[in-house]
A and B are shown apart, each in its own frame.
Chain A
């Protein structure tokens, strides 16, 4: 079975490398793009073209400038360059600056707390920020930081404070000035697999994370140290192609891959490779559709060269009648499906997980939402049920239905009451839950992606 799956891996690698290939072709086309009569950007009084001698002079001058500035530079690279007068320590905080252009660092805290009640002794909540026990729960205190570093990079970080410590959820740099519509992220980041994976509880429609994410990638969702290249295709509609390579370890972040084991990376195939295509269709001013296809592949620790592949698709439909006067309605529909196959000694396990949710903002401050989730038991090559080494108790299908009502006093605070019914086939009876969650956002919080 290893040979059979190898072909699939070839295809996956091709997909995840495709951004680079496409980039190459874009580069090749670039010189052909401007027609002879079009570029009229040059002023009429433009200086005549420089002679090769003049260019050489410029190069020489730049070279001597560069060496001169190196003499002034600090001897080591560990120390930062000397600060310019008035340029340092101007970390402007919201409310203190008087506006235009003084924000060098956006800092915000997001607090999520919840009161919860479960009928199950051991609720099956699988998200690291889910309420998990009766009584009060600290879901998270997130410190998010964002800033432009220099003309070439911006920095984003999310530090999450739990009751037992701090973790670096995300900390990455994003390039700002790469040519050919390319953008690179490097550092620790949530992969852009599917729709919900790359987002934080602050932008979710529900108090808890869909169990599909917790089951496949882990409680913290799929993330890791790595690098990502994305490319915006020069097409009339929005097509973004993303490829990333991340560390495949982490019980809470890559559990279907290497999980808690720590194997030495010997080839690029020992990392998790992710390939994503996202497309956006503005069906009308009021209705838009986002559609994504995702795939992730990486090693798993069950045997030599055993791999795990996850395939996913996601849709997001958003109806907001901005062309109708006095109408603040917002209706969204979001669904994701995950198909996972894992090579284990003597078999290939497959399972399917999905969720679909709809939310309706019926007044400027109020919304209600409904979600259905399904996860099947793992099956072997012949369709027989087999023991899942990651979730041995998951021998039957599980489904969960959640419904909630949210109230936003302002866009900086939110109250949400959510009820759920969790039917896990391997348990004798369904479990019910009730949660009341409060979220507070303070500080300068960056804008959200669509």
Chain B
């Protein structure tokens, strides 16, 4: 092959690759898969959505892999949880992405926590001696479908602002999603009425919104302080509390190590209920399916069966 032809071939290949990604009207990248699922629910066929983290992954500690910067490079909208949840990995990706559309303050950057009714906002001064306390409030609000709905509304407004041509479609999708989610929520609440007021032990402070919604009481956390792994004396205290209060279950996310939780659960005794940290968006799961799956696990937990 002559050098000029080779050059032409290379240029053609680059142009082809550059043009290759399917052209949806808006390319949205979200940090967490729950946000991706909500965006897909209201965006429908007009948006192409990608989540940076997996549902099986601890959202506090995501690797800033360069291919994630590549996704951000091509994004029209970046949606993050905020409240410093992604502070350890997102900023470096945002700068590395060379896309001014998605930088802080731009219309292409949306912080979902502004739409949620936040819990555990510290009222006194916090420092790191208290562990990983999020100074803006607890960021794990997507376990509560009521908060998720508020976030979906916020996402819809932003999609409509960025893509006014499809604004009506987005609002129609939101209406459908609202009806579906509210209907499902009624069912879930009925199924879990027995959980109301029940004592529960959790691993990390991820249960604030879940307990606010379902009415159970988190009596203790296996982590002595947020982000600090369990130690023997603390675990002994939690176990004693769990026995005394007759804890109904131990809740933890699948991304935490489970040896201690298993031990505590078996000693109380109470079932260990493993929660998926988020919607398995990659496998096509929807937000409603994810919460439904979680409700099933809690239901089983109430019946004394772990998962």
Residues on A facing B (Cβ under 8 Å): 25, 29, 32-33, 35, 38, 40-45, 94-101, 148, 151, 154, 174, 176-178, 181-183, 232-238, 240, 278, 280, 282, 285, 288, 290, 318, 320, 322-328, 363-365, 410-412, 442, 446-450
Contacts and interface: CB of A to CB of B under 8 A. Distances in A.
Contact of B128 (A363, A412, A446): A412
Given A41-B162, A233-B14, A365-B229, 16 more contacts: A33-B18, A33-B19, A40-B166, A41-B25, A95-B125, A95-B135, A178-B98, A183-B98, A232-B98, A238-B69, A278-B66, A320-B63, A322-B56, A322-B57, A450-B64, A450-B66
Nearest to A235: B17
Contacts, number: 153
B6 interface: no
A100 B121 CA distance: 12
Given A25-B11, A29-B18, A100 B229 contact: no
Contacts of A234: 14, 17-18
Contact of A100 (B66, B83, B105): B83
A3 to B, nearest CB: 25
Give 3 nearest A-B pairs by CB, closest first: A99-B136, A43-B164, A177-B100
A448 B95 contact: no
Contact of B87 (A97, A280, A325, A447): A447
Contacts of B256: 326
A447 B91 contact: yes
A280 B100 contact: no
Contacts of A282: 65, 67
Contacts of B126: 95
A151 B100 CA distance: 8
A185 B80 CA distance: 27
Contacts of A322: 54, 56-57, 255
Interface string B69-91: 11001000000001110011111
B78 to A, nearest CB: 14
20 contacts: A33-B15, A35-B19, A44-B164, A94-B135, A95-B127, A99-B136, A148-B103, A177-B100, A181-B98, A232-B69, A232-B73, A234-B18, A240-B66, A325-B258, A364-B257, A412-B128, A446-B92, A448-B64, A450-B64, A450-B66
A182 B227 CA distance: 38
Contacts of B92: 446-449
A97 B163 CA distance: 34
Contacts of A320: 63
Contacts of A97: 135
Contacts of B15: 29, 32-33
A412 B131 CA distance: 10
Interface in B111-145: 111, 113-114, 121-122, 125-128, 131-132, 134-137
B263 to A, nearest CB: 13
B304 interface: no
Contacts of B162: 41
Contacts of A363: 257
Nearest to B104: A148
B257 A328 contact: yes
A236 B17 contact: yes
B228 interface: yes
A43 B70 contact: no
Interface of A is mostly: loop
B183 interface: no
Nearest to A413: B128
A33 B97 CA distance: 19
Nearest to A96: B125
B5 interface: no
B65 A43 contact: no
Interface residues of B, number: 67
B48 interface: no
Contacts of A288: 63, 65, 67
B73 to A, nearest CB: 6
B171 to A, nearest CB: 15
B134 to A, nearest CB: 8
A449 B87 contact: no
B98 A99 contact: no
Contact of A98 (B93, B98, B136, B164): B136
Nearest to A175: B98
A324 B111 CA distance: 29
Nearest to B91: A447
A114 B65 CA distance: 31
A95 B128 contact: yes
B257 A447 contact: no
Interface in B247-265: 254-258
A328, A411, A450, most chain B CB atoms within 10 A: A450
B2 interface: no
A100 B86 CA distance: 13
A326 B258 contact: yes
B20 interface: yes
Interface string B155-181: 000000011111000000000000000
A448 B61 CA distance: 11
B98 A44 contact: no
Given A95-B127, A95-B128, A181-B98, A326 B91 contact: no
B231 to A, nearest CB: 11
A84 B105 CA distance: 18
A33, A174, A176, most chain B CB atoms within 10 A: A176
Given A43-B164, A151-B100, A99 B125 contact: no
B163 A41 contact: yes
A115 B208 CA distance: 44
A290 B54 CA distance: 20
A32 B227 CA distance: 50
A97, A182, A322, most chain B CB atoms within 10 A: A322
A412 B105 CA distance: 28
A328, A363, A447, most chain B CB atoms within 10 A: A447
B66 A280 contact: yes
A446 B65 contact: no
B14 A410 contact: no
Interface string B22-33: 010100000000
Contact of B67 (A41, A95, A178, A238): A238
Contacts of A174: 95
B128 to A, nearest CB: 6
B57, B67, B121, B274, most chain A CB atoms within 10 A: B67
B271 to A, nearest CB: 16
B96 interface: yes
A176 B95 contact: yes
B67 A237 contact: yes
Nearest to B106: A151
A186 to B, nearest CB: 15
Given A326-B254, A326-B257, A318 B63 contact: yes
